[in-house]
Amino acid sequence: MPIVPRPVLAGLNAHLLSFALATCCIPFATADVLAISNTAHPLINSASARVVLLDAPERFEQQLSEGLPADPRQAVAIMQQRMRSATAQQLGRDLARAHQDVADAWSLGVAKLPAVVVDRQYVVYGQPDVAAAVASIERYRSSGR
């Protein structure tokens, strides 16, 4: 295997990185993308977006309270014991994050689901394919409107 001087490798790596960004990720790399939906409206191609599922808090709350007895005192005792577990603590953090996500989504005034919001300025409703929605917004932006 030939030895290539370090400066040449650094230049080659920079060119490869530039090429990769130019060919695959431009819309996501340059935009803040928020995809808002719920479990009834699944999203696809959303890996590079911040995904907010509006029904996530409810699902986390159900997981935390699963199997609790009807007696409030017993339920409190069991919940206190559960909250010491690492799993429950993670669920609690996930629940707090889910509530923040919902607040962020509603602060944008989203009217329908699914919604893809780019840079808190542009929105596409009804498109479950996040990449396609971002591409539509990028085409609109580049048209000079």
- At 60-95, the pLDDT tens digits run 999 888 999 999 999 999 988 888 899 988 988 999
Does residue 24 share a domain with residue 48?
no
Q: Three-class SS of residue 94?
A: helix
The pLDDT of residue 24 is above 70: no
pLDDT of residue 82: 85
Closest Cα to residue 132, out of 121, 145, 144, 118?
118
Mean pLDDT of 131-135: 97
Q: At what angle do helices 56-65 and 72-82 cross, to 10 degrees?
A: 100
Residue span of the structural domain in which 7 resides: 1-30
Does residue 73 share a domain with residue 19?
no
Average pLDDT of the chain to the nearest whole number: 82
Give the chain's domain count: 2
Does residue 41 share a domain with residue 26?
no
Does residue 138 share a domain with residue 99?
yes
Does residue 58 share a domain with residue 88?
yes
Does residue 74 share a domain with residue 135?
yes
DSSP class of residue 92 equals H
